[in-house]
Chains A and B, each alone.
Chain A
Amino acid sequence: MTDFFKRLITFALASTIAIQLTPYRANAQAAVAVPVGAAIVVLGGIAYYVWTNSQGAEQRMPVSGDYLEDPEGAEPEIYSDYVWGDSESQALSRCQEVANGGLDVKVKKVGNNRYECTWRSSRG
């Protein structure tokens, strides 16, 4: 986890904002609950929720949830899952389905007809 994400999570907890992460393979998009009374403003073409915290400081959060994207964009997310397959050709096909457009899909045999699929996110 990058420092950016750590800082983001710390910030979110301190602001008593509930963040629900979608399951592991859902490209790290988030559903966000914002405080009642938050306003939406557009700054530099990006929509933000804006509210004032208990210390009186103004807080902002992008509406789209894109704040979870790594701004450095240098470290692609690596994902993995497991599939069964009739054969290695079917295992590869199933891994590609599981990767759902992910890049560099790799298949490793880990047991009889059991395969580990690994891929990276399409960004980064």
Chain B
Amino acid sequence: MAKHLVKFITAYPMGFVPHWMPEGYVPESRIENDVLVFVDELPKIGDIQEIEGDRWTVIDLCLYTPTEASKSQTESFCVAVCTQDGKEYSRSNWHDSDPHILYIPILLSGDLPVADDDERVTLWGLVSDVKNIDAAFYPNWETQFIQWFELSPAEPYKSAQYDQVALCWCEQVELAIAA
């Protein structure tokens, strides 16, 4: 398994509506999509990434480091914001002051949860309280332990950062079938 988990956020130009959005959808800001990818080397600002057939330039990075060295299956978690033209833009920040905890269920094999209708779409959850983390994206995924990441203090990241990131390492279990 690669060392780092990166959440690439791909920001489309203002006014552009990707084909998967419902007909008539009117965006109020730039539409941002994201994808989770394991990589061996962290991206750098200015790097060109090919994501789903398009070329994207990394314009901002945010690094989260693990709080428990004993359970460092993954060395770091990183958010990489990308645009197609490589230009920075003003991202929308959170609209509330609650804590923002990103959690990502992941199998011990490294497999991430994906959307039912498109396995290229990786999934995650967002909560404001640790007790609300529900890693069971699938009924037969059972959390074994959680690897916590916190914002690396040196990062000058500008917007919508997470207070904590939780990688919920899961095992697939056989479900009992009711008689």
Contact = CB atoms under 8 A, between A and B. Distances in A.
Contact of B134 (A90, A92, A106): A106
Interface centre among B34, B126, B137, B160 (most CB of A within 10 A): B126
Interface in A50-87: 84, 86-87
B123 interface: yes
A93 B27 contact: no
Given A108-B125, A109-B125, A112-B20, A93 B29 contact: no
B124 interface: yes
B95 interface: yes
B96 A113 contact: no
B125 A106 contact: yes
Contacts, number: 84
Contact of B115 (A84, A87, A110): A110
A106 B27 contact: no
B20 A89 contact: no
A90 B27 CA distance: 10
Interface SS majority for chain B: loop
Contacts of A105: 128
Interface residues of A, number: 20
Nearest to A105: B128
Given A86-B92, A112-B33, A113-B18, 20 more contacts: A86-B27, A87-B31, A87-B92, A88-B126, A89-B95, A93-B95, A96-B96, A105-B128, A106-B132, A107-B125, A108-B125, A109-B34, A109-B121, A109-B124, A109-B125, A110-B115, A111-B20, A112-B18, A112-B20, A112-B121
24 contacts: A86-B27, A86-B92, A87-B32, A88-B34, A88-B126, A88-B160, A89-B91, A89-B95, A90-B29, A104-B129, A106-B126, A106-B132, A108-B123, A108-B125, A109-B34, A109-B123, A110-B116, A111-B118, A111-B121, A112-B115, A112-B118, A113-B18, A113-B20, A113-B33
Interface of A: 84, 86-90, 92-93, 96, 104-113, 118
